[in-house]
Amino acid sequence: MNNYKLLELISSGCFGSVYKGKHNRNNQLVAIKIESKNGHTHLLKNETRVYNCLKNQVGFPQLKWYGVDMLNYYLVIDLLDFSLHGLIDKYKALSIRTILYIARQLFERLRILHQHHIIHRDIKPDNFLIDLKSNIFYLIDFGFSKMYIQNGKHINFKTKNSIIGTPNFISINIHDNCEPSRRDDIESTLYVLLYCLLGELEWDTENDLEKIATLKTNIIHEDIPPCFKFALIYVRQLTFDQTPDYAYLTSLFNYDKCEKFEWN
């Protein structure tokens, strides 16, 4: 960490902390993730592998440095602006036209991620950040990510004893304790977009996982835009190892002559 200085805390949680920092020589602002070596999970090493796989890909922060000292692991990446969660905190909800603009970017991020044989496994509004200068959305936080192609083959389907991901945004398959795959990243992204459109999800205040799963199952019968209904029906029909049709999903969220958006 000799080359970087911590400026202010951005966020903290049970898996570590994120700071705004800067390079000591060129004053470039960065995001610095810190994870204790004494913790039960060591996620930054896995996240570093993913960033190395995604080097120079649009919509993914670039890895600046990864290192370790006697106490902590450190990961330094591009500093971005705020998350989709931050947008909703500020605007309460986004217009359907804005959602259409965002959706196409998010599906493209998943396509590129999956093209590199990686599944995210923790898609949520906090993990999509915007660069306000370019209006490009970035996918971040790959600590729980996994290679779904191993030894040249798709991983096998199996059930798990616990869920992976954030309950409000996990897929119905994950509720059923299924091993995550590409389809589940997409279903989670649809819940993220629905959250951005409505400002809240019907199950936001619910703590019972079975009730949340039931509400998610029935959401296609609620008064939501057709693009969401068709996309949810499609993704829920995908088999565990099936390659999603990203072009089809993008076409569902089509728009005409949509310009870049200004975030006031």
Which residues carry out catalysis? 122
The burial of 27, by beta-carbon neighbours within 10 Å (0-12 exposed, 13-18 middle, 19 or more buried), is given as exposed
Going by their DSSP bridges, the two strands 128-131 and 153-154 should be labelled as unpaired
DSSP string, 111-134: HHHHHTTEE-S---GGGEEEETTT
Paired strand residues for 107:
none
DSSP string, 72-105: EEEEEEE----BHHHHHHHHSS--HHHHHHHHHH
C-beta neighbour count of 45 within 10 angstroms: 13
